[in-house]
Amino acid sequence: MRILVCNDDGIEAPGLAMLERVARRLSDDVWVVAPDGKRTAASGSITIARPLQMTRLGDQRYACSGTPADCVVTAMTWLFAGIGKPDLVLSGVNDGRNVGEDLAYSGTLGIAREATFWNIPAIGFSRVKNPEMSENDEVWLSELIGTIWAAREQWFDEGHWLAMNLPTVLPAPVRQPRIGRDKIGRTADIVGTDGDVTTLIVPRGRSHAASEGDDNHLLDSGHVCINRLNWFGQKPLEDSLLAQLPG
């Protein structure tokens, strides 16, 4: 099995190193492509008609100057050209939870979404800040991924991927949460003005709002949260509205 491992925290991130070690428990054909620096909240953006630099750091290991999703694009259009695409894409482990609106903002999940455009199964992993790390975490996580991979026919379909949030302590029971609301980027700080130009900074952080059964609630109560997502997001318009439109 060929596995591609990417992230949005950068090639030197501890979460990437952990996920690479987990992947190597599942396969001897592991490739790593990650941004050359932190790319928080890059979502699924890709770089078009501008140069991208790929720096080889070791055997099957590269740093990309672009976005998290660029890591998948460059791998598919360059690294794997002629040798065959990966069977599975793993992204993360993100340094911090991805819940609520983060499902749209997250570069970690942008990687997984991009993988589905290439018809590749993908799982995006995130973990709460300051987890209690154990030497058994990687064994448990590799077994979990192995179980999910073996059952891929039950969750992988065109445009679908999995998003998984890990709690402070592993192992932990796995639950499917309701997607809550916990938006990042709710405020802006003015850091300077110069005539008609105002300089703002949108600070990090969120309220960590939670309600019964949502992703924050289950994470804080010690559960692994798993959601099956898709990028279609289409709901038909009512016929009564269409009838009012031209044509």
Number of domains observed in the structure of the chain:
1
7 is in an annotated binding site: no
User: What CATH number corresponds to the domain at position 156?
Assistant: 3.40.1210.10
239 is in an annotated binding site: no
Give, rounded to a whole angstrom, the gap between the first and last alpha carbons of the chain.
51
Question: Max alpha carbon distance in the chain (Å)?
Answer: 64
Cα–Cα distance, 56 to 58 (Å, whole number): 6
Cβ atoms within 10 Å, residue 174: 14
pLDDT tens string 69-84: 999 999 999 999 999 9
9 is in an annotated binding site: yes
Q: Is the pLDDT of residue 205 over 90?
A: no
Look up the domain containing 26 and give its range: 2-242
Mean of pLDDT values over 119-126: 98
Which strand (E) or helix (H) includes residue 146?
A: helix 137-150
pLDDT tens string 19-36: 999 999 999 999 999 999
Cβ atoms of 86 and 80 within 8 Å: the answer is yes
Instruction: Tell me, yes or no, whether 10 lies in a domain.
Output: yes
- Can you give the pTM of this predicted structure? 0.94
Omega before residue 177 within 30° of 0, cis: no
Instruction: Tell me, yes or no, whether 247 lies in a domain.
Output: no
Q: Is the pLDDT of residue 224 over 90?
A: yes
